[in-house]
Amino acid sequence: MPIYDKAKEAGVFDSAVVALLGRVFEKLKSEAQSPERREALASRVIANYQAGIRDEEELASASKLPLGR
């Protein structure tokens, strides 16, 4: 799954953070998305978390938007 691969690439996260990232990713992904789009989504979720967004709903909301918006 892209979110776990991306989390592993991004650095060390404890299991609670990986679970949070996974929940947000699952909320936002769709079966119609290409693997590339899912990969981009995973990157956005992790980047937003690393930028300091820790609240699950806020993280999901921010991750719907392209990075830098």
Residue 68 pLDDT greater than 70, yes or no:
no
pTM of the model: 0.81
For residue 4, count CB atoms less than 10 angstroms from its CB and return exposed for 0-12, middle for 13-18, buried for 19 or more. middle
Number of H helices, E strands in the chain: 4, 0
Residue 18 pLDDT greater than 70, yes or no:
yes
